[in-house]
Structure 1
Amino acid sequence: MSRTVSDFVIQRVRDWGISRVFGFPGDGIGAFDGALGKAEREGDGLEYIRPTHEEICSLMATAHAKFTGEVGVCVATSSPGAFHMLNGLYDAKMDNQPVVAIIGQQGLNSLGTFTQQESNLERTLSDVAVYVQTVVSPEQAQAVVDTAFRTARVRLGPAVIILPHDVQEMKMPELTPENWVSRSSPVAPSTAIVPPQAEILKAAEIINAGSKVTFLVGHGADGATDEVLKAAELAGAGIITALRAKQVIPSDVPHHSQQLGLLGSRPSMNQMSDCDTLVLLGTNFPYGQFLPKSGQVRAIQVDLKPEQMGLRYPTELNIWGDVKQTLAALIPHLTAKTDMSWQDGVVEGMKEWESEMEAEAMISYDDGVNPRRIYHELNKRLPPRAIVTADAGSTADWYGHHIRLREGMLGDLSGRLATMLAAMPYATAAKFAHPERSVICTIGDGAFQMLGMNELITIKKYMRQWENPQLIIMVLHNDDLTQVSWEMRTEDANPVWATSQDVESVDYAGYAELLGFKGIRVRNDDQAAAAWDDAFAHRGVTLIDAYTSKNVPPLPPKIAFEFAKNTATALLKGDPDATDVVRDTAKALVTEGVERVKGKLKIGQDEDTK
């Protein structure tokens, strides 16, 4: 039987090292789907994972790239499928992840004729894609597929291959030397870029001259943990990680002050306000208001995305290079610091902060379980090599404040896009990528109602394939779009508008039980620890339905005057939850103040002892 374009594309995808794709069928991609089925029957196909929605396909492909370092691949039909996948493709673009989308199209003769499901997909997808191309002839297919994978890897973003339905079925010829026909190779270029020696020496000079050095580490430094730690040791540096980079630096590194900003720690904020040298490693940290004042520090940035360098802070030196290789070249030129007082200050600050976080987690509220308590108890029980996902919204607050990823653990979320519902497809993709590991999804009830509930069906369909079927979904059940409710108060000085914010209450544990999963309900703080113990003892899927307070304030490490003023104004305008918000915020603030005083007294006692 002669080989079709679809047969060729499937084999070429395999040649690029891909074994799994996330897809949803449709007539626009029908011939390609048929070829996938044939390849599966013949034993040389691709593992085809079909969730409940094309948006989930693209989010799973993005998560696969994040959790494996491979190219994620998603497949969908023409216009409606392509449009559904946009959100996940933008997640890949904004978090710099290599993804290839293979999208169907109506036949060549239909292009531009306004027929059913024919749209200008190249125009639609040109903003999100680092490369997008329609295959208009069999001779073009090889170059388009190879260019898509190569570009996705090098430019760290989503590439799109558009396959018209009739082209999918055309005979694929052997390519010979011919004008206008490119013969390409399925070989990935190296991204282990090392900058010139002159730039390495300049970076060393800047770091060696600093006495208060801070490393701000992003997900672009993944795989460079040892090099970051060695460089920080020599420079006497404190380390801050972006939220997506929790897994890069283990939490038990004492001078790692976790995250910066609204979801961050006070020691990280103090580092930024007091440092004299800032080294940004593989990060596009977007919150410039938390970075030093212009001219306060000497700054260096190392990144593989040159367009994102020197963008957040006026850096003195921008190094286009791989973080691991650049630091390996830099380390021999760093002079070991003898005065470690700056780094020691970060260590002491983190001890105080961790005590404060634990104290805030142990507060009891009258209007529901303390969500901090849920995360605090989870963190104490994370098994080795666990994978944790968080959603956009208040789950990201508590993930940042309370989850500490130890060596070998992984964790991630939708970063710069911060799309809701991503925690569920991220967790499911993590199970496919690492079926032997325990995976924990933390998600809010608003996000869970979007498409998360659907994905319990996907889990039911595939869980028998996983070596370790343990997957725990924890839903913060407070019947409110909590993060947006707080943003209405703190950013716009508006009271919560129940019409937009209320979430219909659902028995989420009961829904999980209908599907044959274990359901656990947590209605008071004292049940939180036992719930996690019960879930981790179960070798299967568990949903923890945590009835939490929606009024626990996601307090930043420092409350700005505008934050406090806007919140007060919103409450005075008739916020429906004003009484509970005032009471719960007061409890949190009092606890925070007490713990800070305790911390300062302890530091004073330690100094007296010395």
Structure 2
Amino acid sequence: MGPAHAVTATDLAVRSALMNRTPSHLAIPIDVQSFTLEQDTASPKNVPGHLSPGERLSPAGHLTPAGQPFTVVPPDERLRAAAEVLNSCSRVAICAGAGARGAGDLLERVAEVLGAPIVKAGLGKDCVPDDSPYTTGGMGLIGTRASHEAFEDCDGFLIVGSSTPYYEFWPRPGQARGVQIDLNADRIALRYPVEVGLVGHAAAVLERLLPLLERKADRSFLERARATTRRWWDLIGEQAASSGTPMRPQVVTWELSKALPDEAIVTGDAGTVTAWGGRLRLRRGMRYSFSGTLCTMGAALPYAIGAQLAHPGRPVIAFTGDGSLSMGMGELATLAQYDLPVKVVVLRNDSLALEVWEQTALLGNPQMGCALHPVDFAAVARACGLRAFRVEDPAEAAGVFAEAMAFDGPCLVEAVTDPYEAPFGETLQPAHAAHIAEALGKGETAASAIAGNLLRDGRVAMSPALRQHYDDIARYR
């Protein structure tokens, strides 16, 4: 307590946050804030020099005494055991999460050697760019068909820095031989019964593992994944070409992806906007994050403010929904007050749309209590001193996003979108489709819109296992 301890306390808080990958809270009581230096008394425990301010932190958050990176790597025999497992498999799939950040180049080199597609958990979206020839994109209920096929057909499974709760979409236990890399030992085999766990920093482990891996001569598993991924992006492009209103969210993600400046930092949010954020096409050098573990609504704008303060020279975009933004609209005034050139993109559909889909697809119930009071976010932004745009016509989206990204200051784009556009792609499971049909049969008020959106784009043809449930859904179109 007291100003004499400010450096020590702050240093410990930062170290704890970076090394444990958890938040730290530094409390400064009002009486301490009121201290003068003459009133301050250092604790006898606060011996000068007992904490070295000369320690530095690397971009990955690892202590680097004397300028040398500090990394954790497993013993050589564990690395050899992991390589033996992966070399024995003919169809390896990789799941990469937040722990794989900073190891993207190595991940791609491993993927090339093993002929392995890289499937990305939500928080691993920026570990390799979306235009990488090795990634199939996201996974889980809001993932891609290519990712699901990779997990369904693999006989080898490499998990790098992920403990995603979507493990029901992973390979079935016993289907694939598993290797897991994670800095936290308590996450090894938490979601999948791996044979070899490698505790350490992803980049350091992959660098040591790579020379032990044997190149797969058969590239068919990776090539199939690439072909399915190309079809996926073609489908998104077709959806984005829709001219109907209310506008499909795919229009927003498609046009925003093209307008994103190089080196952009994008912050996402919780809700159906999580699914649409997963469809943004990040290029190499871009960063992305959202409150994936906590599923916290309202995170995008505060995250963006922090990112812009930390990286004043990089473009920052907050990608949020109306339910999320309504929880923290006051931060729009923060952007104006500090003249932070954050670009806020809000998908407005006047609905807690993810709750609609969770109530129907997960519970088989009609939606209840999901309507949001309509808010004119563009007007609110202007009142706070921001430049504001509103887009309802898909034909205007490209021009609006280009103008917004070019604006030299904080601004907001309000995009009016369809709340009943299914965020599942063609990855809906039979049980979910059965629940939706059940909810529609119980009197769901938006039954026609939900059924119509689910049945377009040829999803039935792409998901034959769902055909009988889709037939039930079609009765409400």
- Which of the five TM-score ranges fits, normalised by the shorter chain? 0.7 to 0.9
* Within-5 A mapping of 1:124-273: 146=12, 148-160=13-25, 169=35, 171-173=40-42, 175=44, 183-185=50-52, 187=55, 189=63, 192-273=71-152
Residue in structure 2 matching 1:518, options 387, 397, 420:
387
* Letter of the structure 1 residue corresponding to residue 315 of structure 2: S
How many Å separate the matches in 2 of 1:242 and 1:353? 17
* Letter of the structure 2 residue corresponding to residue 454 of structure 1: G
Answer whether contact 2:3 2:40 (CA < 8 A) is retained.
no
| Residues 557-566 or 476-485, more deviating | 557-566
Answer whether contact 1:254 1:350 (CA < 8 A) is retained.
no
Residue equivalent to 1:406: 283
Report whether the alignment pairs 1:461 with 2:326.
no
* Cα displacement (A) at 1:568: 1.5
Report whether the alignment pairs 1:443 with 2:312.
no
* Cα displacement (A) at 1:557: 3.2
How many Å separate the matches in 1 of 2:230 and 2:93? 18
Q: Is the alpha carbon distance of 1:152 and 1:547 closer, same or farther for their aligned partners in structure 2, counting shifts above 3 Å?
A: closer
Q: Is the alpha carbon distance of 1:409 and 1:325 closer, same or farther for their aligned partners in structure 2, counting shifts above 3 Å?
A: same
- TM-superposition CA deviations, 1:228-262 (whole Å, max 9, x none): 11122112211111111111112222121011111
Answer whether contact 1:363 1:587 (CA < 8 A) is retained.
no
How many Å separate the matches in 2 of 1:559 and 1:176? 59
Residue in structure 2 matching 1:324, options 200, 203, 224:
203
* Within-5 A mapping of 1:410-559: 410-451=287-328, 453-463=329-339, 469=341, 471-497=342-368, 500-559=369-428
How many Å separate the matches in 1 of 2:100 and 2:367? 39
How many Å separate the matches in 2 of 1:536 and 1:185? 42
* Cα displacement (A) at 1:460: 0.7
Which structure has the larger Rg?
A: 1
Report whether the alignment pairs 1:379 with 2:260.
no
* Within-5 A mapping of 1:75-154: 146=12, 148-154=13-19
Residue equivalent to 1:35: none
How many Å separate the matches in 2 of 1:322 and 1:177? 32
How many Å separate the matches in 2 of 1:473 and 1:356? 26
- TM-superposition CA deviations, 1:504-555 (whole Å, max 9, x none): 1121111112223222111222121121122123222221111111111112
* Cα displacement (A) at 1:176: 7.1
Counterpart of 1:240 in 2: which secondary structure? strand
How many Å separate the matches in 2 of 1:280 and 1:266? 19
Report whether the alignment pairs 1:580 with 2:449.
yes
How many Å separate the matches in 2 of 1:441 and 1:161? 26
* Cα displacement (A) at 1:378: 0.6
Q: Is the alpha carbon distance of 1:317 and 1:521 closer, same or farther for their aligned partners in structure 2, counting shifts above 3 Å?
A: same
How many Å separate the matches in 1 of 2:19 and 2:401? 41
Answer whether contact 2:346 2:414 (CA < 8 A) is retained.
yes
Answer whether contact 1:520 1:544 (CA < 8 A) is retained.
yes
Answer whether contact 1:280 1:301 (CA < 8 A) is retained.
yes
* Letter of the structure 2 residue corresponding to residue 450 of structure 1: M
- TM-superposition CA deviations, 1:60-116 (whole Å, max 9, x none): xxxxxxxxxxxxxxxxxxxxxxxxxxxxxxxxxxxxxxxxxxxxxxxxxxxxxxxxx
Counterpart of 2:267 in 1: which secondary structure? strand
How many Å separate the matches in 1 of 2:346 and 2:80? 50
* Cα displacement (A) at 1:8: 2.2
Q: Tell me, which stretches of 5 or more residues in structure 2 are unaligned?
A: 57-62, 65-69, 465-477
Residue equivalent to 1:287: 166
Answer whether contact 1:355 1:595 (CA < 8 A) is retained.
no
* Cα displacement (A) at 1:586: 2.6
How many Å separate the matches in 1 of 2:293 and 2:258? 28
* Letter of the structure 1 residue corresponding to residue 3 of structure 2: D
Residue equivalent to 1:81: none
Answer whether contact 2:142 2:427 (CA < 8 A) is retained.
no
How many Å separate the matches in 2 of 1:485 and 1:301? 35
Sequence identity of aligned pairs in percent? 33
Report whether the alignment pairs 1:391 with 2:256.
no
Structure 2 length-normalised TM: 0.88
* Cα displacement (A) at 1:223: 1.0
* Cα displacement (A) at 1:355: 0.8
Q: Tell me, which stretches of 5 or more residues in structure 1 are unaligned?
A: 17-145, 598-610
How many Å separate the matches in 1 of 2:132 and 2:416? 34
Counterpart of 2:136 in 1: which secondary structure? coil
